[in-house]
Structure 1
């Protein structure tokens, strides 16, 4: 056995020698394969918002209000000097508008529908409804639709000086008719009229139908600025007044001071029980001393 040479380098290990023989050097680094992301189909752009369908404007018949007839009947005349009657209806309409605002918290549409009626014929309901409509038409923030709902004795066209024609009953009886197309424009800004329409043998039942509820509700819904006034039949002379009371937000009951009895008044208020807000307007009041009439309309108060 020979002695180890101290100057000889140590022998490489088996693994190191094998690496030299077989070129076990690590391979050069290889770039990782590039994986370009596959483009995903882009989400379609949101469709442009389709504007709400705007109904075509309704073509309406336009009528002229006969001012001379208003003067002859002692009624309000638009543009004329302020009279005691005008002041009285200003007070009345202000109370009605305040009540409508209060009722709007529960039913904004129904609150803008007002029924004007009386216990008996001749108490002044049509006179009151028409003057109230003329007074309301002078307001800046509302428009007025006066509906002649006294289908047995429609007086509004005669009072204002134009011909009768199709109206409320026709729209209720024929679903194909658009009630807005039967509304009349007038030469008084912000005042429109709906006539009673063609009478039939079952008008009360027609007014009590679901179709009537839809038509009458639609009159107020069609215009959020619109106050709808109904001139109804006398409560104790015909049943439609009690039916209509359930479709409005408030009732204005005209009481004739020199004729309406307490029993009639109580019975009329009872017939109007479907409406929670019934108010009284006292007509033809004479004040003492002197016996001079202060005005046609003196008192306004809630009875409900």
Structure 2
């Protein structure tokens, strides 16, 4: 029996001579290590699930905040748009006579009993000749700085200010009135300084540029105080007097807007000026000026020609230029212009120059240099 046991022990030791015996303590430590690893992994999974759940809740809260902010912004814009529409009561390109509560008792078109019959309605735009298109495309371009336009209150550029809708309405009414009467040339003036006529002219020009198929032009004829180029951010634009005297060609002086991020069209040309003319009225009344404007209209064939004129009650520049325009847009300043001044402007314009409409502007709205008449 003893020998048999010794034989069994010797046989087992020969079969696994290199395997050390596994002690019970080592097995317990191994099990504990596995349990700790499993516990750590479970805790990591639970923490990851908590993070995912919190991120989802945070994303839902942010989305709800964005939707609430968008709703509030839409309500504010709607309220501002309603306020802008109420202000459009002053934009009356086809109004008959203003009431006593309005700023001016002006008529935009002479009554049918006094005025001759209107010509047949034509399209707002016409198809230009190929030669005119070629000349138009050859006009030099200037770069657009949207930040500069925003600083100078050209609100129709970025269209972030809801008040830009007022200029779109003015554009549509103006082009319709011109088309109905077969007119092209419009002077933009104000009774006195500080009413915002250049601000109005620049914003209206940008709005016109977005009208498909329409070719427009804006010329700075405030020769005593040129400022349109400052509002548009153009340096060294040249001399308008040289153009009006025929010393330079229109194609060498007029400029179009280049590529831009404000979605403004390229069918708007600007005539800027940086040289003050001491004898502005004489130049505006000269036969050479009439010939140059006729040549521009024949060669480039614009549908609308806007002229930024001086204040009507300063000097006689507007009176001198009156034969060259079909109608006038009068910009009045809230809190600045009086009813007496508006009536005096109407008297000076006379019945031969229709008042196409009055634009109520509360302030100049730009950082341009003040008039120095």
- 2:359 matched residue in structure 1: 281
- 1:137 matched residue in structure 2: 209
Q: CA deviation at 1:85?
A: 1.7
Which structure's relative contact order is higher, taking Cα pairs within 8 Å and 6+ residues apart? 2
Asked if 1:262 is matched to 2:333, the reply is no
Q: CA deviation at 1:192?
A: 1.5
- 2:255 matched residue in structure 1: 184
- 2:95 matched residue in structure 1: none
- 1:240 matched residue in structure 2: 317
- Say if 1:112 and 1:220, in contact at 8 Å, map to a contact too: no
- Say if 2:153 and 2:199, in contact at 8 Å, map to a contact too: no
**Partner SS, residue 280 of structure 1:** strand
Structure 1 unpaired stretches of 5+: 1-51, 105-110, 286-295, 297-304
Q: Choose which of 189, 206, 221 in structure 1 pairs with 2:283.
A: 206
- 1:75 matched residue in structure 2: 154
Q: For residues 54 and 281 of structure 1, do their structure 2 counterparts lie closer, same or farther at Cα, with a shift above 3 Å needed?
A: closer
- 1:99 matched residue in structure 2: 177
Distance of 2:273 and 2:159 partners within structure 1:
31
Distance of 1:147 and 1:53 partners within structure 2:
23
Distance of 2:301 and 2:270 partners within structure 1:
17
Query: Which one has a bigger Cα radius of gyration?
Result: 1
Q: CA deviation at 1:228?
A: 1.2
**Partner SS, residue 115 of structure 1:** strand
- 2:307 matched residue in structure 1: 230
Q: Deviations over 1:203-239 (max 9, x none)?
A: 2111101111111233333333431111110111132
- 2:69 matched residue in structure 1: none
Distance of 1:263 and 1:65 partners within structure 2:
40
Q: For residues 81 and 132 of structure 1, do their structure 2 counterparts lie closer, same or farther at Cα, with a shift above 3 Å needed?
A: closer
* Structure having the larger proportion of residues in helix: 2
TM normalised by structure 2 equals 0.56
Q: For residues 206 and 81 of structure 1, do their structure 2 counterparts lie closer, same or farther at Cα, with a shift above 3 Å needed?
A: closer
Distance of 1:89 and 1:217 partners within structure 2:
28
- Say if 2:149 and 2:232, in contact at 8 Å, map to a contact too: yes
Q: For residues 60 and 123 of structure 1, do their structure 2 counterparts lie closer, same or farther at Cα, with a shift above 3 Å needed?
A: same
Q: How many pairs align?
A: 227
Structure 2 unpaired stretches of 5+: 1-128, 259-263, 366-373
Root-mean-square deviation (CA, aligned residues, Å) is 2.5
- Say if 2:255 and 2:269, in contact at 8 Å, map to a contact too: yes
- 1:114 matched residue in structure 2: 186
Question: More displaced, 137-146 or 211-220?
Answer: 211-220
* Structure having the larger proportion of residues in strand: 1
**Partner SS, residue 226 of structure 2:** coil
Asked if 1:163 is matched to 2:230, the reply is no
- Say if 1:208 and 1:243, in contact at 8 Å, map to a contact too: yes
Question: More displaced, 190-199 or 211-220?
Answer: 190-199
- Say if 2:285 and 2:320, in contact at 8 Å, map to a contact too: yes
- 2:21 matched residue in structure 1: none
Q: For residues 228 and 220 of structure 1, do their structure 2 counterparts lie closer, same or farther at Cα, with a shift above 3 Å needed?
A: same
